Amino acid sequence: MSNPRFTTPPRVRGFYLGMICDMAPRLTLLILLFAVTGCGESDPVTPPPLAGEPTVRVRIGRAVNRVAISGGRVATVLPVGAAEAELLDLPLAFQLQQGVWLVNGQAKPDWSRAMLIIALPGGEPLAVDNRTHAGQVHLVPASGERSRFDVINAVGLETYLPGVLKKELPDRWHVVTHQAQAIAARSYALYKLQRTPVGRAWDVENTQASQAYVGLTDHAKSVRAVRDTTGLVLSYDNRVLCAYYASNSGGQGLSPDDAFNESPFPTPLKPTHRKDWTTDTPGARWGPIERHCDTLAQRFAAFGKRRGLPLAKIDGIKSITVSRYNDVGRPARFTITDQRGESYTLAADNFRVACNTSAGQALASKHKLPSASVQVRVRDGVATFYAGRGRGHGVGLCQHGAQQMAKADHDALEILETYYPGAKVERAY
């Protein structure tokens, strides 16, 4: 790659680097980050300024009843609203019982229902249930719960990102793939950070619901890729891009609207005809997968109930059809007809998630639908999914395609231009 550290300022194949750094600080606030474009969510009214590297709050534990903190000799624990923090010897075990915090089994009535901020002196990393994290840990009583709480890691964005890359990409993959992924993941995190609803204590999840995240890592390739691209994000129309990405598109992309019913969406997330870089990659082609219609209908009903959809009332399955394809030939909508003749239509990736939804019984991984780029046939009470392509939702960057491009000596900018056509790479801080 000719520009591994992304320091060259001129235009490179339609992308711009280093431009914002040379502008007056005042202009920085107007040009990029906090005039955020739509990806299924409303714009904030008053964008706050970005003074430097932001802190991202990652929910690493959801509605848990216990968490262990270790990693040093002592920790500071600040109940929000208290006058000062307490210095407690490690290790510590936190529980919440009927609104009262317990620390190593001892009740702390003065801390009732308070959010706790935990850190090691000097900013040293700490361990949460034996997994190391930088920054602080926040323990937040879960909404509507008196004995469960969320565990949130508040960490600098550049320290957070290597833990995303370590989880999202195989260690052996090319550093150029890691660089492209770093820019996409940074863009996605900043977009979500700005869109956090008022009053919510976290910005992103540590799972594929947002971005997978392992915590603090010293994985050399991930750390290098983040360092090489520090502060660089994807933008479109002078706004940060919600840079979705997925494992393997199977050569056919999808828009957020067709994947998740998210609209409007910016042009770089519109799928286009492009070279298929996924040929012979793992997951590019799969199937057939057979599923019994009775249990599949139960999963559809469970998905409908969780999403508040009419699908919750489905009565068996009579047929499943692809009711619309997008401009590049990938299924965009599925229609399910039940035994009463009632029809239910789902966006493509919502259909995949519905097929895999838990309904009180385990689903073996070999029976899970890897993507919704598939054909379906229903016969004799069995749904057969065949001609499957890819893994994941198919929106934005294709990780396997990016790896193949890197192996063919394309640089990170070329990869990003391929999967986010029309976007720019710009420096946010």
pLDDT digits (tens, 9 = 90+) for 403-422: 999 999 999 999 999 999 99
Q: What is the pLDDT of residue 19?
A: 29
Q: What is the pLDDT of residue 52?
A: 86
Q: What percent of the chain has a predicted confidence (pLDDT) above 90?
A: 84
> What's the rounded Cα separation, in Å, for the pair 101 and 148?
10
In this structure, of 18-27, 275-284, 338-347, the range with the lowest mean pLDDT score is: 18-27
Q: Is the confidence at residue 46, as pLDDT, over 60? A: no
Q: How confident is the model at residue 170 (pLDDT cuts 50, 70, 90)?
A: very high
pLDDT in tens, 105-147: 999 999 988 999 999 999 999 999 999 999 999 999 998 889 9
Q: How confident is the model at residue 29 (pLDDT cuts 50, 70, 90)?
A: very low
Q: Is the confidence at residue 37, as pLDDT, over 70? A: no
Copy the structure tokens of residue 65. Answer: 């009843």
Q: What is the pLDDT of residue 382?
A: 98
| Mean pLDDT value across the chain | 89
Phi, psi of 97 (to 5 degrees): -125, 115
In this structure, of 39-53, 312-326, 335-349, 391-405, the range with the lowest mean pLDDT score is: 39-53
Q: How confident is the model at residue 39 (pLDDT cuts 50, 70, 90)?
A: low
For the whole model, what pTM was predicted?
A: 0.88
Q: Is pLDDT larger for residue 12 or for residue 206?
A: 206
pLDDT in tens, 277-297: 999 999 999 999 999 999 999
Mean pLDDT of 367-388: 97
Q: What is the pLDDT of residue 362?
A: 84
Q: What is the pLDDT of residue 50?
A: 64
Q: How confident is the model at residue 8 (pLDDT cuts 50, 70, 90)?
A: very low
Q: How confident is the model at residue 23 (pLDDT cuts 50, 70, 90)?
A: very low
Copy the structure tokens of residue 147. Answer: 């004995």
Q: Is the confidence at residue 390, as pLDDT, over 70? A: yes
Mean pLDDT of 199-225: 96
Q: What percent of the chain has a predicted confidence (pLDDT) above 70?
A: 88
Q: What residue spans define the domains of the chain?
A: 20-51+158-259+393-427, 66-147, 285-389
pLDDT in tens, 68-86: 999 999 999 999 999 899 9
Mean pLDDT of 88-109: 96
Q: What is the pLDDT of residue 270?
A: 96
